[in-house]
Amino acid sequence: NAGVTQTPKFQVLKTGQSMTLQCAQDMNHEYMSWYRQDPGMGLRLIHYSVGAGITDQGEVPNGYNVSRSTTEDFPLRLLSAAPSQTSVYFCASTGTGAPSGANVLTFGAGSRLTVL
Amino acid sequence: DQQVKQNSPSLSVQEGRISILNCDYTNSMFDYFLWYKKYPAEGPTFLISISSIKDKNEDGRFTVFLNKSAKHLSLHIVPSQPGDSAVYFCAAVDSGGYQKVTFGTGTKLQVIP
């Protein structure tokens, strides 16, 4: 059982380039989300989705785009990369309904992005 | 506006002693609190949770305490082991809100053998 798979693990971009971080889960989870981790800032929610065709913004959505065409996949697109988007990105999912104490998030291993 | 705060960025504890990690929150609508553990180059993994209707939850060496009046929770690890060395994130959920999980900034725990 693979769980949550993120690709690529590492990426270096130049300012202004675009790219997509891939996230796939094989647990039939309805809820998927993207976080970024920065020193001293913890994990901050970028976008989330409660099911195929439904997405919403989190705490820091600017500069990022998402779509959810299937239950399994939730790609994160950087439209025009900026140095401020240098970070470690985590995809996370959970089962039916909203995250809770009983419905915990399962995280991928992360994607480290550097924007020069 | 940091709704979940972990004021200690790091903590060092001797093996076998108790580790106490603290977390404060400001949003009274949070009704679940969780702790996640993160090793380098890995994603966070769930450790333990507590509902707002309880004040204590225990799972083996790990116990979480919740003080709602103070908006404070803590994670106790007894006894601490070198394998517990990791970053610990406190998180909170408002189940009736926007289905978001709010994380703290993390505390890096080092257990010294």
Query: Token match 């890096």: residue?
Result: B108
A108 touches chain B (CB under 8 A): yes
Q: Is A109 in Cβ contact with B100 (below 8 Å)?
A: no
Instruction: Give which of B72, B93, B66 is closest to B5, Cα–Cα.
Output: B72
Q: Is A48 in Cβ contact with B99 (below 8 Å)?
A: yes
pLDDT at res. A100? 62
Nearest residue on chain A to B87, alpha-carbon basis: A42
Q: Choose from B5, B39, B88, B101 for mutation: most chain A CBs within 10 A.
A: B101
B8 touches chain A (CB under 8 A): no
Instruction: Give which of A10, A5, A22 is closest to A88, Cα–Cα.
Output: A10
Across residues A103-111, what is the average pLDDT?
A: 91
Full DSSP string of B31-96: -EEEEEEE-TTS--EEEEEEETT-SEEEETTEEEEEETTTTEEEEEESS--GGG-EEEEEEEE-TT
Q: Is A109 in Cβ contact with B43 (below 8 Å)?
A: yes
What distance in Å separates the CA atoms of residue B96 and residue B67, rounded to the nearest whole number? 21
A42 touches chain B (CB under 8 A): yes
Q: How far is A15 from chain B (nearest CA, A)?
A: 25
What distance in Å separates the CA atoms of residue A110 and residue A90, rounded to the nearest whole number? 5
Counting one residue from chain A and one from chain B, the pairs whose CB atoms sit within 8 A come to 69
Q: How far is A110 from chain B (nearest CA, A)?
A: 6
pLDDT at res. A95? 78
The beta-carbon neighbor of A48 closest among B89, B91, B100 is B100
pLDDT in tens, chain B (113 residues): 779 999 999 999 999 999 999 999 999 989 899 999 999 999 999 999 999 999 999 999 999 999 999 999 999 999 999 999 999 999 998 877 656 788 999 999 999 99
What distance in Å separates the CA atoms of residue A46 and residue A55, rounded to the nearest whole number? 11
pLDDT at res. A101? 60
Q: Is A41 in Cβ contact with B43 (below 8 Å)?
A: no
Span A53-95, pLDDT tens digits: 999 999 899 999 999 999 999 999 999 999 999 999 999 998 7
Residues composing chain A: 116
Burial of B96 (0-12, 13-18, 19+ CB in 10 A): exposed
Residue type, B60: G
B3 touches chain A (CB under 8 A): no
DSSP run (H or E) holding A23: strand A19-25
Q: Is A107 in Cβ contact with B45 (below 8 Å)?
A: yes
| End-to-end Cα distance, chain A | 36
What distance in Å separates the CA atoms of residue A74 and residue A51, rounded to the nearest whole number? 10
